[in-house]
Amino acid sequence: MRKPKFQCPTGMHDILPEEQKYYKKIYDIVSDIADFYGFGKIDTPILEETELFSKGVGLATDIVKKQMYSLKTKGGDFLSLRPEWTAPVVRAYIENGMQNLPQPLKLWYFGPCYRYERPQANRYRQFWQFGFEVLGEKSPVIDAQIIQIFYNILRELKLKNLIVEVNSIGDSNCRPYYKKLLANYFRTREASLCVDCKKRLRENVLRILDCKGEKCQPIKAEAPQILDHLCEECHLHFKEVLEFLDEIEIPYNLNPYLVRGLDYYTKTVFEIFSGSSEKKESSRIALAGGGRYDKLVKLLGGKETSACGAAIGIERIINLMKSQQIKQGDKETETQIFLAQLGGLSKRKSLKLLEDFRKAKIRVAESFGRDSLKAQLSRADKIGARYALILGQKESLEEMIIIRNMKSGKQEIVKLNRVVAEMRKKLKK
């Protein structure tokens, strides 16, 4: 087939009607959980000042260096499509005076993000995220609760083989010393590092720990570990997070190499993967990522405020739901009745009847554009309707309607004004 003249931009996709049920299912579960835990929903503009991200997410991160969709407006403003939500949410928190409300403030969101990445499976240029942020609370119980919420959402979506990995990357007290130690270590082995890690050594040494390349693995394995170099406060905080996780029975692995790709984190970081633990690290799919970010609010111009949160990639979950064959066929939303009509009077009566079914909250499919009964019944068959209601010219005149059982072929005739009640009874059986 010839390619159409216009196509979706690379790495982006349409969300067609048959896909929408996945988004809806996820939205419904997430919004219920958000309600339960007292999170309020927030929407922010898709565009933000570019500097919000270069400052918030970090100049040396891949996101800011390579992946932003940035533009200059006619008025001369430099804006970028949001590559993530945390910096915009913090901007809104400061700008709308939410720091003066009773704390902690809990916010959640659900919407698209944009990153100019190399498209591949599970990596898109437009992808949807939902996330939860808790602002104004420094207790480690929140770190554990955020992990619990994300784990439970994925469990509720019936996803299997979930792996939670946690680490602490310290704070401005202990991380600078650790980074120096790490840089010294890698410098003596620079010749054996991959090309990217040679660059990381100069720009962001922590990211070497994140390298998935074969060549760097043996060098990483011998590197000093942050958990041995945390200051007392970070050490205690992390210990308590793990104790809470034990208490609420969330299974987790400690991963000393987990450093995350965004610069705002302090103390706890975590990711949730899908895949078996024996699988190679590079073949696992990161579903959720997050952690504590106690310095971001101040960095973006607000008061010193502790915070913690995480986000999930929605397409990645949907791909997994499909590959794990998690059915979305919600019985209640399946259409079990098809209304077929023959001729002008029947068509008019059918329009009215359809309204009666809608008011009774019973789903009915139709194909009013077609006139042949054969075509309409074959459509009823296609959508898997259990019953077809047939309104012919004769029935219309007599205020009657035929109910046809699509499986057995048996037919009965009832009064038109009784058919809604009759169908309700049948559907309950």
Binding piece for ligand HAM, criterion CB under 6 A, among 18-26, 31-39, 185-193, 281-289: 281-289
CA dihedral 226, 129, 163, 274 (to 10 degrees): -130
Using CA atoms, how far apart are residues 130 and 61, in angstroms rounded to an integer?
A: 21
Q: How far is the CB of 268 from ligand HAM (least distance, A)?
A: 10
Q: How far is the CB of 258 from ligand HAM (least distance, A)?
A: 11
What string of H, E and C letters represents the secondary structure of the chain? CCCCCCCCCCCCCCCCHHHHHHHHHHHHHHHHHHHHCCCEECCCCCEEEHHHHHHHCCCCCHHHHHCCCEEECCCCCEEEECCCCHHHHHHHHHHCCHHHCCCCEEEEEEEEEECCCCCECCECCEEEEEEEEEECCCCHHHHHHHHHHHHHHHHHCCCCCEEEEEEECCCCCCHHHHHHHHHHHHHCCHHHCCHHHHHHHHHCHHHHHHCCCHHHHHHHHCCCCHHHCCCHHHHHHHHHHHHHHHHCCCCCEECCCCCCCCCCCCCEEEEEEECCCCCCHHHCEEEEEEEECCCHHHHCCCCCCCEEEEEEEHHHHHHHHHHCCCCCCCHHHCCCEEEEECCHHHHHHHHHHHHHHHHCCCCEEECCCCCCHHHHHHHHHHCCCCEEEEECHHHHHHCEEEEEECCCCCEEEEEHHHHHHHHHHHHHC
Using CA atoms, how far apart are residues 248 and 241, in angstroms rounded to an integer?
A: 11
Q: Among residues 56, 136, 289, 392, which is the contact residue for ligand HAM, using CB under 6 A?
A: 289
Closer residue to ligand HAM (CB): 47 or 400: 47
Q: How far is the CB of 335 from ligand HAM (least distance, A)?
A: 32
Q: How far is the CB of 120 from ligand HAM (least distance, A)?
A: 9
Q: How far is the CB of 314 from ligand HAM (least distance, A)?
A: 8
Closer residue to ligand HAM (CB): 124 or 387: 124
Q: How far is the CB of 378 from ligand HAM (least distance, A)?
A: 40
Q: Among residues 42, 79, 142, 311, which is the contact residue for ligand HAM, using CB under 6 A?
A: 311
Binding piece for ligand HAM, criterion CB under 6 A, among 38-46, 80-88, 225-233, 276-284: 80-88
Q: 243 forms bridges with which residues in the sheet?
A: none
Tell me the site size for ligand HAM, rule CB under 6 A: 28
Q: Among residues 58, 104, 170, 309, which is the contact residue for ligand HAM, using CB under 6 A?
A: 309
Q: How far is the CB of 128 from ligand HAM (least distance, A)?
A: 8
Q: How far is the CB of 397 from ligand HAM (least distance, A)?
A: 59
How far is C-alpha 66 from the chain's CA centre?
23
Binding piece for ligand HAM, criterion CB under 6 A, among 72-80, 195-203, 306-314, 413-421: 306-314
Contacts with ligand HAM in 237-266 (CB under 6 A)? 261-262
Whose CB is nearest to ligand HAM? Answer: 313
Q: From the CB of residue 45, how many other CB atoms can be counted at a distance below 10 Å?
A: 11
Q: Among residues 154, 216, 250, 288, which is the contact residue for ligand HAM, using CB under 6 A?
A: 288
Closer residue to ligand HAM (CB): 83 or 392: 83
Closer residue to ligand HAM (CB): 321 or 419: 321
Q: How far is the CB of 89 from ligand HAM (least distance, A)?
A: 8
Residue 310 engages ligand HAM in binding (rule: CB under 6 A): yes
Contacts with ligand HAM in 312-371 (CB under 6 A)? 312-313, 315-316
Q: How far is the CB of 216 from ligand HAM (least distance, A)?
A: 21
Binding piece for ligand HAM, criterion CB under 6 A, among 30-38, 44-52, 83-91, 384-392: 83-91
**124 vs 118, 197, 253, CA distance in Å?**
8, 24, 28
Q: How far is the CB of 186 from ligand HAM (least distance, A)?
A: 24
Closer residue to ligand HAM (CB): 310 or 403: 310
Q: Determine contact, residues 365/341, Cβ cutoff 8 Å.
A: no
Closer residue to ligand HAM (CB): 149 or 339: 149
| Both tokens assigned to 331 | 């019985």
Contacts with ligand HAM in 101-140 (CB under 6 A)? 115, 117, 122-124, 127, 129, 131, 133
Residues found near ligand HAM in the complex (CB under 6 A): 84-86, 115, 117, 122-124, 127, 129, 131, 133, 261-262, 286-291, 293, 309-313, 315-316
